[in-house]
Amino acid sequence: MSSTGMPRRSPRWAELALALGGFGIGTGEFVIMGLMERVAHDFAIDVPDVGYAISSYALGVVVGAPIISALAARVPRKGLLITLMLLFAIGNFASIMAPGFWSFVALRFIAGLPHGAYFGVAALVAAAAVPVQERGRAIGRVMSGLSVAILLGAPLATWAGNLMGWQVAFAGVGVIALMTMVMVHFWVLRQPIDHQASPKREMTALIKPRVLSTLAIACMGCGGVFAVFSYVVPTLTAQAGMPQSLGPIVLAVFGVGTIIGNLLGGRLTDWNLLKAIPLMLGWCILVQSGFFFAANALWSGLLFVALVGTCIGVAPAMQTRLMDVAEDAQTMAASLNHAAFNMANALGAWLAGLTVKAGFEWSSTGWVGAGLALLGMLIFFASQAAERRVKLPDHRDDRAGCHDVS
C-alpha cells in the first residue's frame, strides 16, 4: 500500500486505470454518432456533414500513432500515458468551445492524435506487469475499457448529450481523461527505460514485413466487424421489423459481445497465439456470414449481433503478435495496431455501404465482413508460409516486458 492507501503494486489496479482511459477514448470516439443531429443543428449544417468530424478524428488516430510513437521513443511510458491523456482531455474540452464547425472538425483531429499511441503504450505497460504467459489476458482486460464504452459509455453520453447539449458529452469525456491521469499516476508503476530507444529505431517498424502483414490481418479481421456494426440498426429495422427505439439496445448487445470477445480472445492468445489467430478469424467468418440469415428475425438477429461483437477478440491476439515481431520497435508497432483498427472501421463501413447502395439486402454486410475475415486468414497463412521459408526467429517476449519505458 502507498501513503495514499492505494494498492499500487497490483497489476489489476494498473489495468483498471489503463482501461478507464480506454473507456474515455471509446466513449469520445463513438458518442458523436448518436449526437449528429444535435451537432448539425448547433452548427447549422446538414447532418451528413457531421461525418467530417468523425473522419477527422479517425485521421488524427492514424496520423498520431506513428508520429507520437517515434517522437516519444525515449519518454518514460508512465509519463507518456499521462501526457497523452492530458492532450485527449484538452482536445475534448476545446471541442466544446469551437466557434464554428470547421474549427470543431480541426479540434476533433487533435482529440484523435493520442488515441493510437495511448492504447499501444497501455498494452505494453499491462503486458510488462504480468508473466509472459498472461500477456493476452492483461491486454484483453485493458482493451475491455473500449468495450464497456460501447456498452455503457457511448449510450449514456448520447442520452446526456441529447438531453442537455452535445457539449455535455464531450465535457464528460474530458473529465474521464483527467481521472485517468490521476489513477495512472498512483496505480501504474514505473518500468525500466530503454536507453537505446530512438525515433529512427521505432520507425523501423514501418518496414518490417511481419509487422506490416500483422497490421493487414488486424485491418481485415476488425474491418469485418465494422462492416456489420456500422449498419446493424438499419439492418434489423428494415429486415426484422425492429422499432427504431430499440437502437440503443442493439448497441448494448453488441457491447456485451465485445466484452466477452476481449476476455476470451485474451485467453486464447495466452493458450497458443499462432493457433488463436486463425481460429478467431474462422469464428469471424462463421458468425458474420450467419448474420446474413439471422437478421430476418429480431431475436436471432440480436443473438448474432452479440456474436459479431465477440469477433473483436481478435484484437488482443494481434496486439500480442505485434509485440512478438516488432523486435526493438515495440511502441511504434503497438500503436499502429490502433491505427489499423481505425482504418478497419473506415474500410468495413465503406465496403458495406457500397454493397447496400448496389441494391443488396442490408444483411449482406455480413458477407462483406466474412469476406474481409477470409482475406485476413489468407494473409496470415501466406505470412506464416513466408516465415517458414526464410526461417525467421520468433521474438516472443521477454521484450514485451523488457523495453517498457514508464
Q: pLDDT tens digits for the chain (406 residues)?
A: 444 444 455 788 898 999 999 999 999 987 887 777 788 889 998 866 777 887 788 888 888 888 888 887 778 889 999 999 999 999 999 999 999 999 999 999 999 999 988 988 898 888 888 888 888 788 888 888 888 888 889 888 888 888 899 999 999 999 999 999 999 999 988 876 666 666 777 776 667 888 888 888 988 888 888 888 878 878 888 899 988 777 778 878 888 898 899 889 888 988 988 999 999 999 999 999 999 999 999 999 999 999 999 998 888 888 888 878 877 777 777 777 777 877 887 788 778 888 888 889 989 999 999 999 999 999 999 998 888 877 655 544 444 444 443 3
**10 Ramachandran zone, left/alpha/beta (phi>0; psi -120 to 50):** beta
Question: Distance between CA 119 and CA 18 in Å, rounded?
Answer: 8
Q: In whole angstroms, what is the distance from residue 140 CA to residue 317 CA?
A: 9
Distance CA 53, CA 157 (A): 17
- pLDDT computed for residue 246 by the predictor: 79
pLDDT of residue 4: 43
pTM above 0.75, yes or no: no
CB 192 within 8 A of CB 344: no
Give the Å distances, CA to CA, from 306 to 76, 176, 288, 291: 38, 27, 11, 10
**118: amino acid identity, one letter:** Y
Complete domains list, the chain, with CATH? 1-197 (1.20.1250.20), 199-392 (1.20.1250.20)
Query: Nearest CA to 35 among 149, 228, 168, 234?
Result: 168
Angle at 67 between CA 63 and CA 71, to 5 degrees: 165
Place of cell 448539425: 40
> How far lies 242's CA from each of 53, 150, 229, 230, 300, in Å?
29, 20, 16, 16, 12
Q: How far apart are alpha carbons 89 and 111 in whole angstroms? A: 8
User: Quick one: pLDDT at residue 143?
Assistant: 81
